[in-house]
């Protein structure tokens, strides 16, 4: 393995949107830095029920609405 080409891997503290914290190892920042998240699994729509909205108004729903009544009868 080549020397001096890999980023520094160190401990950081992560603060989630609800205030909970945990420590992890990362290449972000420097040793002991704190990363404050603006979006996490507790606040992002993909994990809090927003998936339903995507399914109702997505491309597949629009396609089915427009062409759903067509069939390939022989």
Q: Residue 34: what pLDDT?
A: 96
35, 14 in Cβ contact below 8 A?
yes
Q: Residue 50: what pLDDT?
A: 59
pLDDT tens, position by position, 15-69? 999 999 999 999 999 999 999 998 888 887 777 765 554 456 678 878 888 888 7
Contacts of 13 (CB under 8 A, 6+ apart): 21, 22, 23, 32, 33, 34, 35
**Quick one: average pLDDT of 7-20?**
93
- Flag whether pLDDT at 12 surpasses 90: yes
Residue among 44, 40, 46, 48 at smallest CA distance from 16 = 40
- Report the predicted TM-score, pTM, of the whole model to 2 decimal places: 0.56
């Amino acid at each position: 393995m080549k020397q001096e080409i890999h980023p520094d891997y160190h401990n950081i503290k992560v603060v989630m949107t609800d205030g909970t914290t945990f420590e992890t190892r990362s290449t972000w920042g420097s040793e002991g830095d704190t990363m404050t998240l603006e979006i996490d699994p507790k606040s992002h729509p993909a994990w809090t029920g927003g998936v339903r909205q995507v399914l109702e108004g997505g491309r597949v729903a629009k396609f089915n609405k427009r062409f759903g009544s067509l069939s390939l009868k022989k």
